[in-house]
Structures are given as structure tokens and as C-alpha cells.
Amino acid sequence: MHKIVTLPGDGIGPEIMASALEILQAATAGTDFTYEVTEMPFGGAGIDAKGHPFPEETQAALQTADAILLGAIGGPQWHDASVTPEQGLLQMRALLGLYANVRPVRLADSLVHLSPLKEERVKGTDMVIVRELIGGIYFGKPKYREGDEAFDTMYYNRGMIERIARYAFEVAQTRRGHVTSVDKANVLANSRLWRETVNEVAQDYPDVQVEHLYVDAAAMKLITKPTDFDVILTENLFGDILSDEASVIPGSLGLLPSASISAEQAALYEPIHGSAPDIAGQALANPMSMILSVTMMLRQSFGEEVLADRIEEACQAVMAEGIFTKDLGGQASTTDFTQAVIRKLQEG
Ligand code: NAD
Ligand code: IPM
Ligand code: MN
């Protein structure tokens, strides 16, 4: 029995979590994949229920999980909280040691028409962004605001860079064997250490080709020549920004999942987007990002390739029939889409 802890969170988080869990249930009915789900408060919901975005009960539950699913957190009502939902999320990433955030960006041929970009540019896009998740300017000290001055510190050491670089090179070995490391080595000392360390690590992976791009040029090339990328390796903040940008290739932020990997603890799976307060509570959310987070969990935590393929194929088939949510220009509500995927799973 696999133990899955769910953290639905805020805004559209609970809506897309419900959709993905219904689909998981439909896909696993009658199979020997068995699991139990324990839902815990997190983010704004943690503040409302327990006075903290990452309550102690939630911390304890995560220690016993085989895999963790997170919806999304945050919202204007908690911006002035003493510990914000976003700070709670960063605390969780640090506590669990989730150093590698893996964000695949793929565009099925049958769904190329959903991209706002020219078909001939985006057709065949299949890349993975490997974002370092517990270092850089998010975590470096000092970090404070004092009157009219504020400090954030970008910090990496060789060990932190080496660990994420090895992860990215190993991902590349299972793919097309190409790593693009993205930095700002023409300006930042951090990036010069990054580039030097990546080149050292590369020597241990002679079957993987490495190239370096500055982040500004990478941001441009991501949109103009997305098919040139296989694995993108980058630090925390650059990876955050480039991955939202990359969502324009398939057509919506609501399509992109992620996996966050730790050396010691269970992995965590979550959409790359946030709680989308502008559309929350209206059944407008695209649940694909959460559904694909579940299929990443099935593959990476539980080795359930066939189950994951079945779910992904059902979603793709439904979307190819023209059933998709408003973010992609469709008419389907979150529930319409979910039910269509469940019907497709039951047919097949
Ligand atoms: P957002 O990612 O929530 O939304 C950006 C835009 O994308 C919005 O227009 C939204 O409606 C749309 N969108 C996002 N997901 C969608 C989906 N599944 N279907 C359809 N449309 C979708 O970013 P934001 O508005 O800048 O931030 C809102 C809150 O979320 C903030 O509090 C932010 O800090 C937080 N946030 C949390 C996470 C997380 O939980 N990991 C990630 C990013 C932002
Ligand atoms: C993400 C989010 C978070 C980040 C925020 C909410 C702290 O944007 O998961 O991509 O910047 O990492
Ligand atoms: Mn982000």
C-alpha cells in the first residue's frame, strides 16, 4: 500500500487536486496498484487551520510519506501573514532537501495547434528543465529589509552546484545526451563558479554534450528554437522564470508539472504554477499540470510506467478531440475535462 500525502493548498490547488485524484482512482480501479491518501493543511490553508503555513502535523505526516502531491499555495489574503504561504513552501523544500526540481516541457504532435507560437517552430519540443531548488538568491544570507534598503544574497558553493549538475547529466543520459547550462557568467561570480563546476562534472559524463548559454540569450532562444533544447540545467531563480516562459510553448501554464527530488526523503510532485486567485472557485482551472504531476509520481516514485502512459494517452486523446479548458481557448470546465478523461480511461 503506497502512502501518498496530499497538500491541496489554496486557490485552484484543491480544484486540480480533486480532479487528478479522481483520475488516479479511475485509472487504478481493478489494478493491483493500491494506495492511501492522507490530506494535510499547507500554505494559506495551513495558516487558517493551524496558524502556520507548514504546521507541525503536516511536517510529521511528510516524514512517513512514500510520495507527496502539492496543489498550489498563496493568495492576496495571506500577503501580510507573519509567515507567508510562500515562505512555508520554501521551508518545506529546505526541510525535505528537495534540491532538484524537474520540469518537463513536451508538446505532442496532436496538440501543436494549441501553441500560440508558429507550428514549425514548436513541433517536436521535448525538453526538461532541471532547476536547483534550495539555493541561490532564495536562501542566501543576509536576507532582510531595513527601511529604504533591502538585501538578498545569491549564494552557491561547489558542492551544491555539483549535486544538481550530476542530477542533470544523469537525466541527459536517459534522453538525447545534451545539457544546456544557463547562467550569467559575464556578470555574476556565482555563475562563474557554476560554469567552472559544470565543466568539471561534465568530464565524468563523456557521453553527454554540454553547452553554456547566458540567461538573457537563453530566454530568447527558448521561444525561437525550443527544439534545440534537451536538458536545461540552471540555478533557482533563472529556472523559476525560464520554466514559466517555457509554458508558452505548449500553450498554458496549466499544462506543466514538476517533480522535486531529495537525496533522503520522498519526492514531491507539483504543478509549476501558483494558486491562480484570478480564476479560483470558478471551475476554470486546467487540471493537466496536476494530472501530469501524478503521472510523474507514478513513474518516478512507484515505477508504474504503464499506468502513467494510460493516463497521459487518455488526456491527450481528450484534448485532441477539442475538449480542453479556457486557458487553451476551450470551453470545458475543470469537471467537464476530468469526466471526459475518466470516460476515455473506462472505454480503453
Ligand atoms: P499563477 O501561476 O498562480 O497564475 C499566473 C496566471 O496563469 C494566472 O492568470 C492564472 O489564472 C494562470 N494559471 C495558472 N495555473 C493555471 C491553470 N492550472 N489553469 C488555468 N490557468 C492557470 O501566478 P500568480 O498569479 O503570479 O501567483 C498567484 C499566487 O500563487 C501567489 O501568491 C504566488 O506567490 C503563488 N505561487 C505559488 C506557487 C506554488 O504553489 N508552487 C507557484 C507560483 C506562484
Ligand atoms: C514556484 C513558485 C515558487 C518559487 C514561489 C511561490 C516561492 O513560483 O514553485 O515556481 O519561486 O519557487
Ligand atoms: Mn514559479
User: Which tens digit of pLDDT belongs to each residue from 325-335?
Assistant: 999 999 999 99
pLDDT, tens only, 130-182: 999 999 999 999 999 999 999 999 999 999 999 999 999 999 999 999 999 99
pLDDT, tens only, 20-60: 999 999 999 999 999 999 999 999 999 999 999 999 999 99
In this structure, what are the phi and psi dihedrals at residue 203, rounded to the nearest 5 degrees? -65, -25
Nearest CA to ligand 2 atom 11: 240
Neighbouring C-beta atoms of residue 178, cutoff 10 Å: 16
Q: Residue 290: is its pLDDT beyond 90?
A: yes
Pocket around ligand 1 at a 6 A CB cut-off: 12, 16, 72-75, 86, 89, 253-254, 270, 273-279, 285-286, 289, 327
pLDDT at 123: 98
DSSP 140-197: EEEEEEETTEEEEE----HHHHHHHHHHHHHHHHTTTSEEEEEE-TTT-HHHHHHHHH
Residues 279-293, mean pLDDT to the nearest whole number: 98
pLDDT at 83: 97
CA distance 8 to 274: 12
Residue 252 cell numbers, joined: 498554458
**Contact partners, residue 149, CB within 8 Å, separation at least 6:** none
Ligand nearest the Cα of residue 237 is: 2
Q: Report whether 74 contacts 46 (CB < 8 A).
A: no
Pocket around ligand 2 at a 6 A CB cut-off: 74, 86, 89-90, 240, 272, 274
Tell the residue number behind the cell numbers 501558483, with chain if given. 274
pLDDT at 117: 97
Domain 107-251: CATH class, spelled out:
alpha beta
pLDDT, tens only, 74-101: 999 999 999 999 999 999 999 999 999 9
- Residues in binding site for Mg(2+): 216, 240, 244
DSSP 301-329: TT--HHHHHHHHHHHHHHHHTT---GGGT
What is the dihedral angle through the alpha carbons of 309, 315, 316, 320, rounded to the nearest 10 degrees?
160
Nearest CA to ligand 1 atom 11: 276
Helix (H, G, I), strand (E, B) or coil at 13: helix
CA distance 70 to 270: 5
Best probe residue, ligand 2, of 83, 89, 101, 256 (max atoms within 8 Å of C-beta): 89
Residues 274-303, mean pLDDT to the nearest whole number: 98
Residue 150 pairs with which residues in a beta bridge?
145
* 131, 135, 145, 226 from 128: Cα distances, Å: 9, 19, 35, 11
**Contact partners, residue 60, CB within 8 Å, separation at least 6:** none
Taking each helix axis from N to C terminus, what angle separates 13-28 and 288-300, rounded to the nearest 10 degrees? Answer: 50
Ligand nearest the Cα of residue 244 is: 3
Domain 1-97+265-348: CATH class, spelled out:
alpha beta
Tell the residue number behind the cell numbers 505532442, with chain if given. 108
pLDDT at 5: 98
Nearest CA to ligand 1 atom 23: 274
pLDDT band for position 348 (cuts 50, 70, 90): confident
265-293 b/e with 16+ CB inside 10 Å = b? bbbbbbbbbbbbeebbeebbbbbbbbbbb
Q: Is the ipTM of this structure higher than 0.85?
A: yes
pLDDT at 148: 98
* 88, 139, 145, 155 from 142: Cα distances, Å: 19, 9, 10, 10
Hey, where are the domains in the chain?
1-97+265-348, 107-251
Domains 1-97+265-348 and 107-251 share a fold: yes
Tell the residue number behind the cell numbers 480542453, with chain if given. 324
**Long-range Cβ contact pairs of 46-50 (< 8 A, separation 24 or more):** 46/85, 46/88, 47/78, 47/81, 47/83, 47/85
Ligand nearest the Cα of residue 93 is: 2
CA distance 222 to 180: 11
- Residues in binding site: 93, 103, 131, 216, 240, 244, 274-286
Residues 123-127, mean pLDDT to the nearest whole number: 98
Active site residues: 138, 184, 216, 240, 244
Residues 106-116, mean pLDDT to the nearest whole number: 94
Q: What is the pTM of this model?
A: 0.98
